[in-house]
Amino acid sequence: MKILVIDPSLTGISGDMLLSALIDLTGRIELLREVAEKIVEIVEYCEKLDVKVLDVKKKGIRAKYVKAEIKENVEEVKALDVKVNAKKVMDKLDFSNRAEKLGIKAIDELIEAEVKIHGTTVEKAHLHELASVDTLLDIIGTIHILDSEGFLTNSKIYSKPIAVGSGKIRIMHGVMPVPAPATLEILRRNRMKICNSNIKSELTTPTGAALLAAIVDEMIDSLPNMRITRTGYGAGAKDFPETPNILRVVEGEKSGNFRETVYVLETNIDDSSGEVMGYLVEKLLNEGALDVTIIPAIGKKNRPVNIVKVIAEADKHLSIANMIIRETGTLGVRVTRTERIKVSRKIKELPVRIGGREFKVRVKISRGVEDEIINIKPEFEDVKRLAAAVKLPVREVMKRISCKLMEDLL
C-alpha cells in the first residue's frame, strides 16, 4: 500500500509549501501549469496567473518553491464565489469524484472558519486575502497532484504534529496572537495535533491547515514502518535565523507485517435484545468499524450483559463511539488507543474451474514479511454463488477452490 507522510513539525505548513513539496516529490510541474491555465480561463476577476517553480536553498537545504505572479481584483469576491470557481476549475480538469470532494472540503474548512469567527452566514462570508487565486492554485494544485499520483485511492496520508509558531501577527482585524483565528478554528474543528515551536512567526496558515484537514487520514508522532521510495522538500517564503523553513513529504510503501494505530471501543449493555445487538453490528460496520464483536458475560448483580467491542480507525472512532451511545443508550464508552500488527493483503479476481465450468472468484491473499503467501481465502459470497451453480456443498467448493488457488500461486 502506498503512503504519504507530511511533516509540518519543523516550520509548519502553508498551501504553497505543500504544493512545492509535492512538486519536488513527483516532478509533476505540468499539472501545476494546467491548474493555472484553467484558473485564468474560468475566474473572471483574475487577469494574470503565471507560475514558476524555483530551486532554492534554506539554511543549505535544497527545496522547491512555487512562485506565483498574480493580477486580480478580489475586493468584492465572496466566499461562495471562491467555492463556485473551484468547482468549475476542477470540473474542467476532469477531477475524480473523490478528488473534487476533498478540494471542496478544504475550501469549506476556510469558509466555515470565517463564519464561526465573524458570526456571519455562509452567504455573507468573505475570505478577504484568502479569496486570492493563489488559494485556488494551492488547493486545486495539491489535490490534482495527489490524485494523479494515486495518493487518493488505496493509499493512506499521514501528518506529523503541526508547528504553529508563536508571537503575534498583524491581520486586517488588528494584532492577534499566533496562530491566526481562522487557522486555530480549523485545527480545533478537526482535533488536529499541534506541537511547540520557539520561532516567533506564523508558521501554519489557514490554507495549510485546511488542506491537512481535507486530505490527512491520521495524525502520527513518528514515521510509520515502511520502505521509503521518494522524498520532497517545499520552501516557505520566510527565512529564520537558525531553522530551515521547509516542509518535508515522504512517500513509502507498506508491505509484509506492519503496525498501525487503532482505537478499541468497549461498553457493557444489559438491557438490549438480541435484535438490537444484531442491528448494532450492522450499523457499526456500515459506519466504517474495522471489526465488531458482541461478547456475552455476567455483569453487576449477576445479571447477563453483552460486551460490545469495536475496533476503529483513528479518524472514525469518535463517530463510531457516538453511534454506540445513540443506538444502545449506554452511558459511556471505554476508549483505548493501541497498535495492531497486520499482514499485507489484497483481493484479486481469479479464474477457477469446477465441474467442467470456469468461474471468477474474488480471493483475499495474505503475505508475510518475506512476501510469502500465508493464506488464501475465497470471498464467501462468491463461493455460495458457485456452489449453487454446480450443486455441491459450500464446504466442498471452498476446499476445492483453496487447494486449486494455492497450487496455482505457489
Residue 395: its pLDDT value, please?
87
CA separation for the pair 8, 10 (Å, rounded): 6
Residue 374: its pLDDT value, please?
77
Least-confidence region, from 92-106, 119-133, 140-154: 119-133
Least-confidence region, from 101-110, 291-300, 339-348: 339-348
* Residue 257 in this model has a pLDDT that exceeds 70: no
* Mean pLDDT score of the chain: 89
Mean pLDDT of 225-250: 94
Of residues 120 and 208, more confidently modeled: 208
Dump the DSSP string for 173-187. Answer: TEEEESSPHHHHHHH
What is 344-409's CATH number? 3.10.20.300
Residue % of the chain over a pLDDT of 70: 96
Task: Take residue 391 and report the three cell numbers written for it.
Answer: 450443486
* Residue 36 in this model has a pLDDT that exceeds 90: yes
206-215 vs 97-118: helix axis angle to the nearest 10?
130
Contacts of 65 (CB under 8 A, 6+ apart): 16, 20, 53, 54, 55, 56, 234, 235, 237
Of residues 73 and 66, more confidently modeled: 66
Task: Take residue 349 and report the three cell numbers written for it.
Answer: 479476481
The boundaries of every CATH 3.10.20.300 domain in the chain are: 344-409
Residue 127: its pLDDT value, please?
75
The topology under which CATH files domain 259-342 is: Alpha-Beta Plaits (3.30.70)
Residue 23: its pLDDT value, please?
98
* Residue 1 in this model has a pLDDT that exceeds 80: no
Residue 41: its pLDDT value, please?
94
* Residue 33 in this model has a pLDDT that exceeds 80: yes
Q: pTM of the prediction? A: 0.68
The boundaries of every CATH 3.30.70.1380 domain in the chain are: 259-342
List b or e across 23-57, with b for residues whose CB sees 16 or more CB atoms inside 10 angstroms: bbbbebeebbebbbebbbebbebbeebebebeebe
